[in-house]
Homo-oligomer: A and B are copies of this chain.
Amino acid sequence: MKAAVLGATGYTGLILLRLLTEHPDVREIIAVSSSQPGEPVRGADPGLSPALEQKMGASAGKLVAIAEAVKAAEARDLDVVFSGLPHLKSAEVCAPFFGRCVVIDLSADFRFSDAEAFRKAYGAPPARPDLLAKAAFGLAEWYGDRIRTADIIANPGCYPTCTLLPLLPLAREGLLKGTVIVNAISGISGAGKKERTDLLYCERTENACAYNPGTAHRHAPEIHKELAAAGKGLGLLFTPHMAPLKRGMCVTTVAELARSPESEGPRSIRGIYEKYYSGRPFISLTDSRIPQTRDVWGSNRCDIGWRLEGDRIMLFSAIDNLVKGASGQAVQNMNIRFGLEESAGLRAGGEL
């Protein structure tokens, strides 16, 4: 496998470089930077492993311009391109790769098959409405069949991943009704490596708050389209929060039960989850134990716990927003797409 990473110096790009360095099936990595081509990749982030430079072959450990990656794609020795670019820009920059290699896009550009839904969420029409229908939504545990054959994979957002993984099985089984209330806490890296005052250390340490609640957050429609597809009539009220975490995300979901909780006790809830996730390497069921973001730090795992509370169910899920919520799931999608071991190059254990 030969892979290129567009936007290699952003947070998702830097995690991708780390994961691909350790990936047993990836032979060569091209790190692409539109802003600083020619720079040594380990100058951009001295934390990167020296082993990455060995995998960078022809590019001699240096960030390359987009044109170099295009040439490699044209020469047909590039298998996959990961794009960690911002939405709208991503679809545009990826244009030369469509049809030449598999594109795994971490931006929102291909997450909606409906152009109007994209426009509503992002305030602009999608860059490539012609390709929306061809893209697979890369929620790896749910769209494996489509991912296996797709040449464009739209990696889901971190909030949708962490919210949908515990919700979809219950929604599919018709267990839920009404408006699902979702409250999420995200690590600051979810906002990207942007020179914004509100992302400064001094503004975020010892500080927590909700932001863009309800329909104001772009991820709400992305979550809702999947939720509504799984369970007719389900509504969503989604509120993200920022807390002083570099990485990590935890989601607390409250949903009304459509059926008596007696018939769906703790055992049965586990049964439903096992029906959908049994054997999947990155779903861990913690039953009544509530997952912590620390448990999954650095891993591609999503931990899921739950509690029954009267006629409601509470769901608790945790991921690393940069791994299962972004770059890790992107690699998982690559693994699925190319018939590799699903967990190749990914860790199921969290750091201490």
1/0 contact string of A193-219 vs chain B (CB within 8 Å): 111110111111111111101111000
Task: Assess the B193–A202 pair: CB atoms within 8 A.
Answer: yes
Task: Assess the A289–B46 pair: CB atoms within 8 A.
Answer: yes
Total copies of this chain within the assembly = 4
Q: A11-B202, A252-B241 are in contact. Are A209 and B290 (CB under 8 A)?
A: yes
Binding site for B on A (CB under 8 A): 11, 14-15, 18, 21-22, 45-52, 179, 181, 183, 185, 187-189, 193-197, 199-211, 213-216, 237, 239, 241, 243-248, 250, 252, 254, 281, 284, 286, 289-299, 303, 307, 309, 312, 314, 316, 318, 322, 347-352
Q: Which residues of B contact A49 (CB under 8 A)?
A: 299, 347-350
Chain B nearest Cβ from A43, distance in angstroms:
9
Q: Which residues of B contact A207 (CB under 8 A)?
A: 245, 248, 292-294
Q: Which residues of B contact A303 (CB under 8 A)?
A: 46
With beta carbons under 8 angstroms apart, the residue of B45, B208, B348, B350 that contacts A248 is: B208
In the bound complex, CA of A191 to CA of B23 (Å) = 34
Q: Which residues of B contact A45 (CB under 8 A)?
A: 352
Task: Assess the B50–A348 pair: CB atoms within 8 A.
Answer: yes
Chain B nearest Cβ from A166, distance in angstroms:
13
Task: Assess the B47–A202 pair: CB atoms within 8 A.
Answer: no
Task: Assess the B189–A290 pair: CB atoms within 8 A.
Answer: no
Task: Assess the B185–A193 pair: CB atoms within 8 A.
Answer: no
In the bound complex, CA of A196 to CA of B201 (Å) = 10
In the bound complex, CA of A322 to CA of B206 (Å) = 14
In the bound complex, CA of A193 to CA of B199 (Å) = 11
With beta carbons under 8 angstroms apart, the residue of B47, B195, B299 that contacts A294 is: B47
In the bound complex, CA of A206 to CA of B21 (Å) = 23
Task: Assess the A208–B293 pair: CB atoms within 8 A.
Answer: yes
Q: Which residues of B contact A50 (CB under 8 A)?
A: 281, 284, 348-349
Q: Which residues of B contact A208 (CB under 8 A)?
A: 185, 243, 245, 248, 250, 292-293
In the bound complex, CA of A194 to CA of B183 (Å) = 29
Q: Which residues of B contact A22 (CB under 8 A)?
A: 347, 349
Q: Which residues of B contact A179 (CB under 8 A)?
A: 312
Task: Assess the B185–A247 pair: CB atoms within 8 A.
Answer: no
Q: Which residues of B contact A46 (CB under 8 A)?
A: 286, 289, 291-292, 295, 303, 350
Q: What is the chain B residue whose CB lies nearest that of A9?
A: B197
Q: Which residues of B contact A188 (CB under 8 A)?
A: 200-202
Chain B nearest Cβ from A247, distance in angstroms:
7
In the bound complex, CA of A45 to CA of B203 (Å) = 11
In the bound complex, CA of A169 to CA of B9 (Å) = 34
Task: Assess the A352–B47 pair: CB atoms within 8 A.
Answer: yes
Q: Which residues of B contact A307 (CB under 8 A)?
A: 213-214, 216
With beta carbons under 8 angstroms apart, the residue of B51, B215, B312 that contacts A349 is: B51
Task: Assess the B195–A201 pair: CB atoms within 8 A.
Answer: no
In the bound complex, CA of A179 to CA of B178 (Å) = 13
Task: Assess the A351–B202 pair: CB atoms within 8 A.
Answer: no
Q: A202-B11, A241-B252 are in contact. Are A47 and B348 (CB under 8 A)?
A: no
Task: Assess the A298–B351 pair: CB atoms within 8 A.
Answer: yes
8 A/B residue pairs, CB under 8 Å, sorted by A: A15-B352, A18-B352, A47-B351, A49-B299, A185-B243, A199-B200, A213-B309, A298-B298
